[in-house]
Amino acid sequence: MNYDKTEIILPPTDHTHAPNTNEIEARKIMNNMRYKALNTTLNPRSIISSSQIAVTPAVSSLLPDYDTLRRNIQNIRRNLIFPEILPASASELVIPNEYQMTEAGDRFLFFDDSSIQNNRVIIFMSDSCSDILSTSKHIYFDGTFKTIPNIFYQMFSIHASKHDSIVPYEYILMEKKNLEAYRLA
């Protein structure tokens, strides 16, 4: 055994085959997509289609399928925007100031009492959205359990009518699904 890695076990050899040009081209395409994901605001579909112009079937067969490419682009961008490690619990979540306000400078983080142990409720809603909800004749509720960070149990949203459409006006992240959490919401 060569545990200290001081002895060369196999001497270097000359390559006996030509480089696989299709694999090289597939890598170039993947690198091009990564570059575009990091440096442009193009949507994933545009990045994928523009990167695969004039690709031969042989090279195309070496590339991942469309859904995998789309997820790769989304992951690249998510890691660029959110490089931090996600918190292990809702109580560890710190909401940066830029996510507490709207682009217009209005309050967006409507309620957050992190002192409530293991029952954190966070409400995102602007004051103008609160006014709309309070004057709406009909409001609608929706809850989802699958598309939220695992530190929360449920995302609850409240919607109202606007110009013949139903529009979400309030987003509520709930660590638990219990009466106290619903009262806070």
pLDDT (0 to 100) of residue 15: 64
Position 73 in a domain: yes
Token pair of 2, please? 């060569």
Tell me the average pLDDT across 35-47: 92
Q: Is the confidence at residue 47, as pLDDT, over 90? A: yes
Q: Is the confidence at residue 101, as pLDDT, over 50? A: yes
Q: Are 102 and 165 members of one domain?
A: yes
Q: Which of 60, 81, 102 is the last residue of a domain?
A: 81
Position 10 in a domain: no
Position 112 in a domain: yes
Spatial contact of 63 and 69, defined as CB atoms under 8 Å apart: yes
Q: Are 146 and 179 members of one domain?
A: yes
Q: Are 113 and 170 members of one domain?
A: yes
Q: Are 95 and 51 members of one domain?
A: no
> pTM for the whole thing?
0.55
How far does CA 24 lie from the centroid of its chain?
A: 30
pLDDT (0 to 100) of residue 1: 46
Q: Are 117 and 156 members of one domain?
A: yes
Q: Are 143 and 58 members of one domain?
A: no
Q: Are 46 and 99 members of one domain?
A: no
Average pLDDT, the chain: 85
Position 119 in a domain: yes
Cα dihedral 177/178/179/180 (nearest 10): -100
Q: Are 97 and 175 members of one domain?
A: yes
Contacts of 1 (CB under 8 A, 6+ apart): none
Overall domain count for the chain: 2
Q: Which of 64, 81, 98 is the last residue of a domain?
A: 81
Q: Which of 40, 60, 81 is the last residue of a domain?
A: 81
Token pair of 95, please? 């909401």
Q: Are 61 and 130 members of one domain?
A: no
Spatial contact of 129 and 169, defined as CB atoms under 8 Å apart: yes
Q: How confident is the model at residue 2 (pLDDT cuts 50, 70, 90)?
A: very low
Q: Are 41 and 97 members of one domain?
A: no
Q: Are 178 and 157 members of one domain?
A: yes
Position 15 in a domain: no
Contacts of 46 (CB under 8 A, 6+ apart): none
Tell me the average pLDDT across 85-96: 84
* Domain residue limits at 47: 21-81
Spatial contact of 67 and 81, defined as CB atoms under 8 Å apart: no
pLDDT (0 to 100) of residue 30: 94
Q: Are 94 and 76 members of one domain?
A: no
